[in-house]
A = this chain, B = another copy of it.
Amino acid sequence: MPRQTLYPADVTPSTNPVPDSAEASQASRQAEIRSAAKTLFAQRGYHGTSMKDIAEELGIKAPSLYNHIDSKQTLLRDIMFETMATLIASQKAAISTTKDAAEQVRRSMESHVRYHAQHRRETIIGNTEIASLKQPYRRQLLEARREYTQAWEELVRKGVENGEFETQSIPLAVYAMLEMGIGVALWFREDGPLTESEIAYIYGDMALKLLAPAPGGSA
């Protein structure tokens, strides 16, 4: 929807493997705008960032942005939806290669933590700017979040039913695990004392400890 091409969506010229240069530069300019917006929205907030700020980041004037995007609001919307879609897809990929609940939780947590370590700007925007997203987009985004949470709850429920896990509350355990992983985005530094992989592993371990059955057993 945000992408402007010379063709309507149903007549995309799929025969040309190399996009013509006008189209390519349009797309790359959009990517540059989106990246500048991510940096500034994360730093100053949506309402704290002006279109002029974004334009200056690219060395152009604010009105020129509108040759590439529809509005400030669609810029925010596209950033937030892309983020949720990527997160959901990465979890699906992570759990597809095993059937064991504990292993699925470990891989989900590692994927979750890696995503948030790699997408710090997007995470900050996602946590901070939900209120800045107008309807119906806000509702739709919360639905996408709900979908993600529910996938986690089903995973944990499966493990509880087969005795691998034990918890006083499945939803609370899931909220706790998701929230602690999101928090990684707030402090992770690529040049920090721990690598992304080390952190992902430790968080995977913590998730399993949270769900571990009591030593004595419950039966």
A contact set with B: CB distance below 8 Å: 43-48, 127-129, 131-132, 168-169, 172-173, 175-180, 182-184, 186-187, 194, 199, 202-203, 205-206, 209-210, 212, 215
Structural contact, A202 and B169, CB atoms closer than 8 A:
yes
Q: Knowing A175-B180, A180-B179 are in contact, say whether A131-B48 is a contact too (CB < 8 A).
A: yes
Chain B minimum-CB-distance residue to A178: B183
Chain B minimum-CB-distance residue to A175: B183
Number of identical protomers = 2
Chain B minimum-CB-distance residue to A199: B172
Q: How far is the CA of A184 from the CA of B46 in the complex (A)?
A: 24
Q: Tell me which residues across on chain B come within 8 A of A194, comparing CB atoms.
A: 169, 172
Q: Tell me which residues across on chain B come within 8 A of A212, comparing CB atoms.
A: 209, 212
12 CB < 8 A contacts A-B: A43-B131, A45-B46, A47-B47, A128-B128, A169-B202, A172-B203, A175-B184, A175-B187, A179-B182, A182-B183, A209-B210, A212-B212
Q: How far is the CA of A215 from the CA of B184 in the complex (A)?
A: 28
Q: How far is the CA of A177 from the CA of B44 in the complex (A)?
A: 27
Q: How far is the CA of A130 from the CA of B48 in the complex (A)?
A: 12
Chain B minimum-CB-distance residue to A177: B180
Chain B minimum-CB-distance residue to A212: B209
Given contacts A47-B47, A176-B180, list 14 more A-B pairs with CB under 8 A.
A43-B131, A44-B131, A45-B46, A45-B129, A45-B131, A127-B127, A169-B202, A172-B194, A176-B183, A179-B179, A182-B183, A210-B210, A212-B212, A215-B215
Chain B minimum-CB-distance residue to A49: B47
